[in-house]
Structure 1
Amino acid sequence: MKRRLLVLLVIAGMSCLLPFAADAAPKTDGRPNGGAMSYGEYGRPSTLDPITSNEMISLRLTELIFNGLVGINEKQEIVSELAEKWDVSSDGRTYTFFLRKNVTWHPREGEEARPFSADDVIFTYKMMMHPKTITSLKVRYEFIDTAEKVDDFTVKFSLKRPILNALAKFSFKIIPRHGPSDPLFLTREDTFVQNPIGTGPYILKNITADREIILVANENYFKGRPHIDKIISKPFADQNIMTQALMFNAIDMIVLVNPRDIPEIQGDKRFVLQPYNALSYSFFGYNMRNPLLADKRVRKAFSYAVNRQEMLDSFFNGQGTIISGPFAPGSWAYNLEVQPLPYDPQKAIALLKEAGFEQGADGIMQKEGKKLSLRLKVPIEKESEAMKRVVLAFKNYLKNIGADVSVEFKEFRAWNEDVLREYDFDIVYASWVFDDSADISQLFHSSEIGPWKYNFIGYSNPEVDSLIVESKLTLDHEKRRTINRKLHAILAEENPYTFLWSLTNYAAYHKKLRRVAIHPYKFFSFADDWFIPEAEQK
């Protein structure tokens, strides 16, 4: 999705440039422009482009900088973005998009803004699917057979087969062909991933020495200039400090409030506490490359050993739901008939003994002279209170059944390197957030085992592979539901993860921010309509 060539968008040697956009008209909603909004994030983004990004902090920023061909409105309806209209063939295998002609890319320092065209769309697709581009998006778009430029403002995608809800998948972000330094594929070493340009409502202005990311309003945004002049993303290594920054007016918003801080914020009339239903869950994942963890009985023993309800109540004020399998509980794919394993340490010990382990003199289980000693890697910059309590409780639960767990807290980029590239871990603690809650192929299909892919635990099961493919191929929604319910049951039994919980998400923001609508996955999808009354602008 990002490749770049110095194509000046000039037709071969001719002097007729593709039409540049006129200045976008201001919004006509009567709301004032002006003011700045700063928001707190727990951690820093690894990249700022929509292709190599693989965590939510980055994704939220790309939502402000880039656009897709289509988008989703507040009613969850598909609406036009860079494509102003589209046609779908009667057999559901050809999608033709007619692009807007009044869109320009954010200008780089000292350069004129360049026009957006079909070349950028084809470029993005080819770069996204290039074998050397490391991205989790490939599997999501494997259903596309060809992408073709019809003319300067028309593109045609041919599908390998009709699929359910195909149109919504064309919301992938488009990048400029003059953006990346390599014209063929995108890597994290490319300067574009840290200094991107898009077509979206906000332009990346600069990144400060403190790693604050400053975005300014795009005066020529094709939907109309966004109301708020400046948005600043501020990283925090400690959630408690982030909450205090909100309370003392150092920031205006927190995108994800620590559940333990909800009562404090709720009791302050200056702030709005807004729930949003993200499709997400947390888990402990097990590296199947470790022979000890390749045994399903060991993984299942760990799930029996953990008192999830106790942790949820103690560390998150009970603000969540215990889960039993690989789908978020708010998803139609979730199998309610599969119950979470109960807390049963005696059953856990029995399973370990069944797997051939015996307790040593030091209390640690061992098998054939090898101790059940494992490394747990956790992706944070510093141990936040809630996360530290979860992992230390997990360590103690497993100690009670004879497993020795050492905990390593890693800065997110280092965690990414260790887990996604080097597979240097035994257990991880992490969370998934879904936009398509019924598609778990990236997590559990064996083709997704590889560097920088999401099946980093190395899980492989031919039956699961077959069911995932069958789920993707069917056009019958009820059949797909049945397949996914079976997938849920198998993965709950296999325990590649100890599935934990889905937390209730809350954002908190100062009441000066108005008309704040939040996308449950991308968060900032509607931020160009947010505004600050003139009397409260600073």
Structure 2
Amino acid sequence: MKLRKGLWLLLCLTFVMSLFLAACSKDKEAGGEVDKPEKEKDPAVEEPVEETGPVNGGDLIVGSTGNPTMFNPYFSTDTASSDIEGFLYNGLVTVNLDLEVQNDLAEEITPSEDNLSYTVKLKQGVKFHDGEEMTADDVVFSYMMLKNEAVISERKSNFESMEKVEKIDDYTVKFTLNKVDVTFYPTTLSYSVLPEHILGKVDPATLHENEFNTKNPIGTGPFKFEEWKDGEYVKVVAFDEYFDGRPHLDSITTKIITDANAMLASLQAGEIDMWNAVPGTELETAKAIPGIKIEEGLALSYTFLAFNQKDERFQDKRVRQAMTHAINRQAIVDSIMNGAGQVANAPDSPLMWTYNDDVPKFDYDVEKAKALMKEAGWEDTDGDGILDKDGKKMSFSVKTNQGNKVREEIAVVLEQQLKEIGVEAKPAITEWGAFIEQISAPNWDYEAMVLGWALSTFPDSYDIFHSSQIQEGLNFAWYKNEEADKLMEKGRQTPDTEEYKQIQKDLYKIITEDQAYTFLYYPTEFRAMPENLEGYEFHSRSPFYNVHKWWLKPTE
């Protein structure tokens, strides 16, 4: 496709410095762990090694600590759901190992000279799982869906700049924007194409809760949905008519195991084949399991502590700064994560070309934390060891998701460390589905939480920190800063690479000075999988990158 030089550089200059991690999980069965029998042979005779190509067959059993909430990427916001959605759907574009944008369902994408329209030619012959052909009608329906005011979704911000989508012919569509938006090509066009012949008949106001999302999701992806037993497993099977060739694996079963210790035991027992989030403290144990290998790298993600700024106690940035000063983040990385990560200070990843660590830092300093709390008016007036102000105690719960061993342990450490400055932070470990529902709009039912963001492959903080995203988006922390809002808006309309990078630098300084989050760490991910799994390539954003090319090498 043709792009103006500035925009092309901005969209495709993205590079990877090293490796990756995040936090999820995966699975096992045919071809998983097999002990090879010893053969007696003449040591003087070298037996030739027979090389084999990809073979079809096998069910890969993946362990997941998170229980999916649904299987529709326009409405889900959690990683457990998006992992399954990656098996079922395709977008117009995707990203390769270097985080460069490449075509997926699109055959060709041509932007206009002013970057206010994109003409997309679709691949022909692509089938949905029910046998219907994907056409321009499906693309128009899918991308216009969130423009309907009746539709309820936290993903709408990615479609704000889109004015309309028009069908030119059965395999060509034209997107028209109301303003330049550099995130449109790499981000918006990556959204999945859904079947208009099924969902086009549904009342828009009920799309978010339609049974399509949970009982019969149909896409164009390499695997098709077979069964979901809530809290137990999700099974998908190979789609024979997948446009890029039938997957080699017959099926993938995602087994829900919410306890990390039970997950490790299942991996050891051969009950699962794959786990994409082995804690650093369990790495050596996982490496010692016969028939298992480990792939590792830095994840395109970060883990954070967020305070609900809807709560008056957390609206003073000095309080949030004090909390960060009181937390020994390096100790968390060294002990809980066994060194598998690095302390984070900004809302970006070292893997991104916009990454900048030249931001205000709030290093571990208990005395400074105490001084900031006192400056903000918080003192222990009744001698109970807990700070108070205007009759309110600095006592709150810290929610995080059950099954993520690292986050569970962090919540306990936070309780211990914050106690040193007179803050009572009580761990509240919550089942994944309930956790996501509680923290999301319109509930915002939390005081503080430990969570992580799997970042977009294009650096953009709008969804998470822009004030417009509080009511309907992903700004769970209720963070508001007018200057930050303006920079995020300006950034989306800036196609020049260096100018965009400077805008992000200025933005990160504001966000970190405000301590919109306490940025905890960038994790290194350890992914355990069958030793005989072939075709796997480590992707910093997607643990199931090119899953249709994976295959299990026959063992003796």
TM value normalised by structure 1: 0.89
Which runs of structure 2 are paired with 1:466-485 in the superposition (5 Å)?
A: 466-485=486-505
| Distance of 2:106 and 2:230 partners within structure 1 | 38
User: For residue 35 of structure 2, what is the aligned residue in structure 1?
Assistant: none
User: For residue 23 of structure 1, what is the aligned residue in structure 2?
Assistant: none
Q: Percent identity?
A: 33
**Structure 2 CA distance for partners of 1:291 and 1:51, relative to 1, 3 Å:** same
User: For residue 96 of structure 2, what is the aligned residue in structure 1?
Assistant: 73
Which one-letter code corresponds to 1:508 in the other structure?
A
**Structure 2 CA distance for partners of 1:93 and 1:136, relative to 1, 3 Å:** same
Indicate which of 337, 340, 358 corresponds to 2:379: 358
Is 1:160 equivalent to 2:178 in the alignment? yes
| Distance of 1:78 and 1:335 partners within structure 2 | 22
Shift of 1:58: 1.1
Indicate which of 396, 402, 418 corresponds to 2:438: 418
**Structure 2 CA distance for partners of 1:490 and 1:209, relative to 1, 3 Å:** closer
Shift of 1:221: 0.8
| Distance of 2:507 and 2:242 partners within structure 1 | 43
User: For residue 446 of structure 1, what is the aligned residue in structure 2?
Assistant: 467
**Structure 2 CA distance for partners of 1:165 and 1:286, relative to 1, 3 Å:** closer
| Distance of 2:97 and 2:426 partners within structure 1 | 44
Per-residue Cα deviation, 1:304-359 (whole angstroms, up to 9, x for no partner):
11111111111000111101122223222232222632211111111111111221
**Structure 2 CA distance for partners of 1:186 and 1:126, relative to 1, 3 Å:** farther
User: For residue 19 of structure 1, what is the aligned residue in structure 2?
Assistant: none
| Distance of 2:230 and 2:437 partners within structure 1 | 23
Which one-letter code corresponds to 2:407 in the other structure?
M
2:124 touches 2:171 (CA, 8 Å); kept in 1? yes
Which runs of structure 2 are paired with 1:151-190 in the superposition (5 Å)?
A: 151-164=169-182, 166-169=184-187, 170-180=189-199, 182-185=202-205, 187-190=207-210
Indicate which of 237, 244, 249 corresponds to 1:228: 249
SS for the counterpart of 1:479 is helix
| Distance of 2:166 and 2:297 partners within structure 1 | 38
Is 1:302 equivalent to 2:319 in the alignment? no
| Distance of 1:227 and 1:208 partners within structure 2 | 24
Which one-letter code corresponds to 2:492 in the other structure?
K
| Distance of 2:495 and 2:63 partners within structure 1 | 41
2:248 touches 2:550 (CA, 8 Å); kept in 1? yes
Which one-letter code corresponds to 1:95 in the other structure?
Y
Which one-letter code corresponds to 1:461 in the other structure?
N
Is 1:96 equivalent to 2:114 in the alignment? no
After TM superposition, the structure 1 stretch with the greater mean CA deviation from structure 2, 492-501 or 323-332, is: 323-332
| Distance of 2:498 and 2:129 partners within structure 1 | 44
Which one-letter code corresponds to 1:273 in the other structure?
I
Shift of 1:87: 2.5
SS for the counterpart of 1:168 is coil
After TM superposition, the structure 1 stretch with the greater mean CA deviation from structure 2, 301-310 or 261-270, is: 261-270
Shift of 1:38: 0.8
Is 1:139 equivalent to 2:157 in the alignment? yes
Which one-letter code corresponds to 1:456 in the other structure?
F
User: For residue 27 of structure 2, what is the aligned residue in structure 1?
Assistant: none
| Distance of 2:104 and 2:151 partners within structure 1 | 25
Indicate which of 134, 139, 143 corresponds to 1:125: 143
User: For residue 261 of structure 2, what is the aligned residue in structure 1?
Assistant: 240
User: For residue 527 of structure 2, what is the aligned residue in structure 1?
Assistant: 507
2:345 touches 2:519 (CA, 8 Å); kept in 1? yes
2:532 touches 2:554 (CA, 8 Å); kept in 1? no
User: For residue 217 of structure 2, what is the aligned residue in structure 1?
Assistant: 196
Shift of 1:259: 1.6
Shift of 1:185: 4.7
Shift of 1:65: 0.5
After TM superposition, the structure 1 stretch with the greater mean CA deviation from structure 2, 480-489 or 410-419, is: 410-419
SS for the counterpart of 2:339 is coil
Which one-letter code corresponds to 1:526 in the other structure?
N
When the two chains are superposed, the root-mean-square deviation of aligned CA atoms in Å is: 2.0
| Distance of 1:368 and 1:293 partners within structure 2 | 14
User: For residue 477 of structure 2, what is the aligned residue in structure 1?
Assistant: 457
User: Would you identify which runs of 4 or more consecutive aligned residues in structure 1 move more than 6 Å?
Assistant: none
Which one-letter code corresponds to 2:494 in the other structure?
T
User: For residue 286 of structure 2, what is the aligned residue in structure 1?
Assistant: 265
Per-residue Cα deviation, 1:412-444 (whole angstroms, up to 9, x for no partner):
222222211312221111111112352011111
Shift of 1:208: 3.4
With CA pairs under 8 Å and 6+ residues apart, which has the higher RCO, 1 or 2?
2
| Distance of 2:121 and 2:172 partners within structure 1 | 5
SS for the counterpart of 1:311 is helix
**Structure 2 CA distance for partners of 1:341 and 1:243, relative to 1, 3 Å:** same
User: For residue 421 of structure 2, what is the aligned residue in structure 1?
Assistant: 401
2:301 touches 2:453 (CA, 8 Å); kept in 1? yes
User: For residue 18 of structure 2, what is the aligned residue in structure 1?
Assistant: none
| Distance of 2:428 and 2:100 partners within structure 1 | 43
Indicate which of 391, 394, 404 corresponds to 1:369: 391
Is 1:207 equivalent to 2:228 in the alignment? yes
2:360 touches 2:513 (CA, 8 Å); kept in 1? no
**Structure 2 CA distance for partners of 1:456 and 1:302, relative to 1, 3 Å:** same
Q: Which runs of 5+ in 1 are unaligned?
A: 1-28, 108-112
Which one-letter code corresponds to 2:194 in the other structure?
I
Which one-letter code corresponds to 1:361 in the other structure?
G
| Distance of 2:368 and 2:531 partners within structure 1 | 51
2:186 touches 2:458 (CA, 8 Å); kept in 1? no
Which one-letter code corresponds to 1:275 in the other structure?
E
1:179 touches 1:196 (CA, 8 Å); kept in 2? no
Which one-letter code corresponds to 1:152 in the other structure?
D
Indicate which of 511, 518, 525 corresponds to 1:491: 511
Residues paired across the two proteins, number = 500
Q: Which runs of 5+ in 2 are unaligned?
A: 1-51
After TM superposition, the structure 1 stretch with the greater mean CA deviation from structure 2, 498-507 or 174-183, is: 174-183
Is 1:526 equivalent to 2:549 in the alignment? no
**Structure 2 CA distance for partners of 1:272 and 1:260, relative to 1, 3 Å:** same
**Structure 2 CA distance for partners of 1:197 and 1:140, relative to 1, 3 Å:** same
Is 1:392 equivalent to 2:412 in the alignment? yes
1:59 touches 1:522 (CA, 8 Å); kept in 2? no
Shift of 1:66: 0.5
User: For residue 10 of structure 1, what is the aligned residue in structure 2?
Assistant: none
User: For residue 84 of structure 2, what is the aligned residue in structure 1?
Assistant: 61
Is 1:287 equivalent to 2:305 in the alignment? no
Shift of 1:276: 3.4
Which one-letter code corresponds to 2:310 in the other structure?
R
Which one-letter code corresponds to 1:116 in the other structure?
M
2:308 touches 2:478 (CA, 8 Å); kept in 1? yes
| Distance of 1:509 and 1:361 partners within structure 2 | 53
1:64 touches 1:525 (CA, 8 Å); kept in 2? no
